[in-house]
Amino acid sequence: MCHLSGQIATEISLRVAFAQQHDVKEPALDISALAYPALVYAHLLLFVLWLGADVGVFVLGQHFRKREKWSLDQRIALLTLLVEIDMVPRSAWALMVPLSLSVVAAGGWWDVPGWLMFGGWAIGLFWMWLVWDSHAHDQTPRAARNRRIEGVLRWAIGGFYLWLGTQSLLFGAPLAPDWLAAKALLFGLIFVAAIMIDVTFKPVGAQLVAVLTEGSSDATEIPLRRTMDRTRVWVWAVYLLLLVTAFLGNVKPL
């Protein structure tokens, strides 16, 4: 062991002497090389939060429908939890917009114009603020105003991604790889399906008030159940589109 330790010490001394003689320096940490993997990780994390939390929302919604199993008070408690958990996918959706542009730019897939990158982050953060401000001031004119603004933003952003994906698939620019162009197009379709969730779900507010004021009966529960069933179609559409989008991004089959 002493002989081996002596060999190791000699080797270290020779390496140190060589480094000093030839001015060898330790390689500097390349921050730019870490940017793309870090952004991809954040992108995947948002996907997990979006889909995972949304599944929780779906499960709570399924139990809310079971009036034969839960009392009305219990169902209202489930609905309260549903609204709280729903803030996670709504926040992830807003942040996914600027982050997707950052991932594309850092990966060299598209030289995103500076104004678009800045605008994407400004809009994404503003959108998330609208979501949380509406939640904090629910059932007020302020929340109603925020949601109208949010609706305009979602249609505009969804239209942008639909244009980006279609343009790139047809002409090979600005997104050259077909898998990336298809992913942008599907992301635009996610906007359409998610918007339709809110549109289809809109009557639930008045129908729920009817249940609370008039009591649980077929007259009040069946219209509520019918609205929720129609909404589920768009929920499943979002799940399917999310899974296909994630598949394209990871497998890159095109």
Domain ranges of the chain: 35-251
Per-residue pLDDT, 21: 56
Per-residue pLDDT, 10: 52
The pTM of this model reads 0.82
How far, in whole angstroms, is CA 47 from its chain's centroid?
5
Per-residue confidence of the chain (254 residues) as pLDDT tens digits? 444 445 544 554 544 454 455 454 444 445 556 788 999 999 999 999 999 999 999 999 889 888 888 888 898 899 899 999 999 999 999 999 999 999 999 988 999 999 999 999 999 999 999 999 999 999 899 999 999 999 999 999 999 999 999 999 999 999 989 999 999 999 999 999 999 998 998 888 888 888 888 888 888 888 988 998 899 999 999 999 999 999 998 888 87
What are the tokens at 246? Answer: 């994630």
Per-residue pLDDT, 187: 95
Per-residue pLDDT, 30: 52
Half-sphere exposure of 224 (CA within 13 A, CB side): 22
What are the tokens at 113? Answer: 């114009």
User: What is the DSSP-derived secondary structure letter of residue 26?
Assistant: P
Distance between CA atoms of 231 and 202, rounded to whole angstroms? 10
pLDDT in tens, 54-78: 999 999 988 988 888 888 889 889 9
Residues in Cβ contact with 243 at an 8 Å cutoff, skipping those fewer than 6 apart: 51
Task: Report the alpha-carbon angle 9-10-11, nearest 5.
Answer: 90
Burial level of 136, CB count in 10 A (0-12/13-18/19+)?
Answer: exposed
